[in-house]
């Protein structure tokens, strides 16, 4: 894939992601940028998010409706997993060597080379689980 030029719009998308700790949809990013006065089209937001994801500069998860959500990588070690609260959306990044070792064994056992994987794990965070008990 050809390198994407560093445009004013790309800088605006990156700045917004740098300033946020939450996962955001392309539509939400577009809305925020327009609201702050940045002239940018939704297609341009998608194009820049795709380039950032391809460069492994943003994490991409899919919510329970299948919508892609984006966030600047918070956990630079790769690979890592996202533990996501299905109630409030709070996300924790985790890396686990034991899981990686097990997956490598599984890929090799089934004859897979150059295997890649991703996993988003959904549950309830402590706060939401506690509020469900009330």
Task: Answer yes or no: is 73 a known binding residue.
Answer: no
Exposed/middle/buried for residue 84 (C-beta within 10 Å: 0-12, 13-18, 19+): buried
Task: Answer yes or no: is 88 a known binding residue.
Answer: yes
What is the signed CA dihedral for 4, 47, 52, 99, rounded to 10 degrees? -140
Task: Answer yes or no: is 109 a known binding residue.
Answer: no
**Per the annotation, where are the binding residues for Zn(2+)?**
85, 88, 125, 128
**Per the annotation, where are the binding residues for Fe cation?**
100, 117
**Per the annotation, where are the binding residues?**
85, 88, 100, 117, 125, 128
């Amino acid at each position: 894939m050809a390198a994407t030029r560093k445009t004013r719009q790309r800088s605006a998308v990156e700045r917004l992601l740098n300033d946020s700790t939450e996962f955001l949809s392309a539509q939400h990013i577009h809305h925020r940028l327009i609201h702050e006065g940045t002239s940018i089209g939704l297609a341009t937001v998608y194009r820049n998010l795709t380039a950032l994801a391809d460069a492994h500069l943003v994490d991409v998860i899919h919510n329970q409706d299948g919508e892609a959500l984006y966030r600047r990588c918070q956990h630079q070690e790769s690979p890592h997993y996202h533990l996501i609260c299905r109630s409030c959306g709070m996300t924790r990044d985790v890396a686990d060597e034991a899981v990686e070792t097990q997956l490598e064994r599984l890929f090799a056992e089934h004859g897979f080379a150059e295997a890649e994987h991703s996993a988003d794990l959904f549950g309830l965070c402590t706060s939401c689980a506690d509020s469900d008990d009330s």
